[in-house]
Amino acid sequence: MNPQVLEHQAEAEQWEAEQVLAWTWEQFGADASLASSFGAEDVVLIDLASRIGASFPTFTLDTDFLFPETYELISQLEERYELKVERLRPKLSPEEQAEHFGEALWQRHPDHCCGIRKIDPLKERLGSASAWITGIRREQSATRAHARKLEWDDKFGLVKLNPLADWSEGEIWAYIRSRRVPYNPLHDRSYPSIGCVHCTRAVLPDEDHRAGRWSGLAKTECGLHIIEPVTK
């Protein structure tokens, strides 16, 4: 594990989100990147970083299958925060993917589709970074329940920061409303978690917040943020 993580991991659990971001900027500067899918948590992070003057490079995984509302939100945030969002694209276009693997790969082999359109571009991007910042929260799902605010990412081989790990959904929305932060209007239409058009649906009132992702399949994560419990 990275020495900085070992030294500060326990301490970081007491830091506020702004402190996590400020420490990250001080330690890594522009070698730390903010990964954004432009969900509610991600727009909070963009606003927090702007408030403390941390100009982290911001990137998104543009799978070519994002909702129109997501693309529109990216443009709004770029204008408001004077950002230039880096859009990571798969090596295969949708047409090329269909030619190689057949139509609607996301239905037949969703892990393969996520690998092509998300994991591979992310691996390539993080190969040039020292740290990455995400908007994951512990209460989002069982696979995220053990996230630390500061940790070492074995999968991608760099420092990972989760400044909002201990925030509740209520705190996220209170921040968005108090700061008037732009957000995806799909959230108001029962889409708490928003991914690709083909693999995301609205959820019912009694469903888990991630029930709308890969509905009908055992899959609940694209593979970017699966965190195992720490064993001793």
CA distance 155 to 153: 5
d(C-alpha 165, C-alpha 167), whole Å? 6
Q: What are the CB-based long-range contacts (under 8 Å, 24+) for 193-202?
A: 193/39, 193/140, 194/37, 194/38, 194/39, 194/67, 194/70, 195/37, 195/222, 196/63, 196/65, 196/66, 196/106, 196/117, 197/65, 197/66, 197/67, 198/65, 198/104, 198/106, 198/107, 199/106, 199/110, 200/67
Strands 158-161 and 131-133: parallel
**pLDDT for residue 111 is more than 70:** yes
Is 203 part of a structural domain of the chain?
no
**Residue 196 is a catalytic residue:** no
Within-domain flag for 72: yes
Per-residue pLDDT tens digits for 141-167:
888 899 999 999 998 999 999 999 999
Lowest-confidence pick of 38-47, 54-63, 158-167, 218-227 = 218-227
The pLDDT of residue 86 is above 60: yes
pLDDT range class, residue 212, cuts 50, 70, 90: confident
Active-site annotation holder among 114, 196, 199, 222? 222
**pLDDT (0 to 100) of residue 231:** 31
**221 pLDDT tier (thresholds 50, 70, 90):** low
CA dihedral 89, 77, 25, 30 (to 10 degrees): 40
Residue 15 lies in a domain: yes
State residue 80's pLDDT score. Answer: 97
For the domain that residue 57 is a member of, what is the CATH number? 3.40.50.620
Range of the domain at 15: 3-188
Which has the closest alpha carbon to 228: 153, 175, 174? 153
What is residue 131's predicted lDDT score, i.e. its pLDDT?
Answer: 97
200: in domain: no
Mean pLDDT of the chain: 91
Q: In the chain, how many domains are there?
A: 1
Whether residue 119 is contained in a domain is answered as: yes
Q: What is the pLDDT of residues 163-211, one digit of tens each?
A: 999 999 999 999 999 999 999 999 999 999 999 999 999 998 888 887 8
Answer yes or no: are the C-beta atoms of 184 and 169 closer than 8 Å. no
Euclidean distance between the first and the last CA atom of the chain, given in angstroms as a whole number: 15
User: Which of the four pLDDT bands, split at 50, 70 and 90, describes residue 222?
Assistant: low
pTM: 0.89
Which pLDDT score, from 0 to 100, does residue 202 have?
Answer: 93
**pLDDT above 50 (res 51):** yes
